[in-house]
């Protein structure tokens, strides 16, 4: 498994782009929760555009930066821990993403549901969003970090002298005579 900083940055950037797209799609589905006046107290000034028309855009810039940092940590942890998962590289990344979701995101969402009075539909939406992001994002990272460069690929040439004659079993001659 490669620990190439360039590949980690590329994988993290791809994860960030994918995560941003999925987040935007789920934001549209959850817009009723985001615009619910009862929930306004939850949102940071970065997300609210009451007195600042660019507040929403500022939130998005911060979101992308934080997501990229999280993707870098995810990628680095994958290079350290992911090698112990026995599977094809893309499946290994998917499994790693699943373990991160089950071991980190799901318990966090459960604790939020016990701590904050958020609508259960909102928490389920966030949970499903994160489930998709970590499963597909993990698959992408697994595929990118494992992919070999052409220079790293060992090309084996065919050498006839390396072919060894195999002895025929006794039953072959008997079978061929019949």
Neighbours of 97 (CB within 10 A): 28
Residue carrying structure tokens 């026995």: 86
C-alpha dihedral, 170 to 172 to 173 to 174, nearest 10°: 90
| CB hemisphere CA count around 38 (13 angstroms) | 6
Q: Is 147 helix (H, G, I), strand (E, B) or coil?
A: coil
DSSP string of 89-115? HHHHHHHHHHHHIIIIIHHHHHHHHHH
| Residues across the chain | 178
* pLDDT tens digits for range 65-93: 999 999 999 999 998 887 778 777 788 88
Helical pair 106-115 and 120-146, crossing angle rounded to 10 deg: 160
pLDDT score at 166:
64
Per-position pLDDT tens, the chain of length 178? 557 889 899 999 999 999 999 999 998 999 888 888 888 788 777 666 655 666 567 778 888 999 999 999 999 999 888 777 877 778 888 999 999 999 999 999 999 999 988 899 999 999 999 999 999 999 999 888 876 543 444 445 556 666 666 676 777 677 677 6
């Amino acid at each position: 498994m490669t620990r190439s900083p360039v590949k980690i940055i590329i994988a993290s950037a791809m994860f960030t782009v994918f995560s941003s797209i999925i987040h935007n799609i789920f934001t549209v589905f959850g817009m009723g929760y985001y615009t619910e006046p009862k929930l306004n107290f939850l949102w940071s000034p970065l997300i609210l555009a009451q007195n600042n028309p660019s507040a929403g855009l500022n939130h998005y810039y911060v979101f992308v930066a934080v997501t990229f940092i999280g993707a870098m940590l995810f990628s680095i942890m994958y290079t350290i821990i992911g090698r112990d998962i026995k599977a094809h590289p893309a499946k290994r990344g998917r499994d790693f993403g699943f373990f991160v979701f089950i071991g980190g995101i799901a318990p966090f969402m459960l604790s939020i549901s016990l701590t904050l009075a958020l609508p259960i539909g909102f928490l389920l939406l966030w949970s499903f969003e994160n489930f998709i992001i970590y499963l597909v994002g993990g698959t992408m990272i697994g595929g990118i970090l494992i992919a070999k460069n052409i220079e790293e690929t060992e090309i084996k040439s065919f050498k006839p002298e390396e072919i060894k004659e195999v002895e025929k079993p006794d039953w072959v001659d008997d079978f061929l005579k019949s």
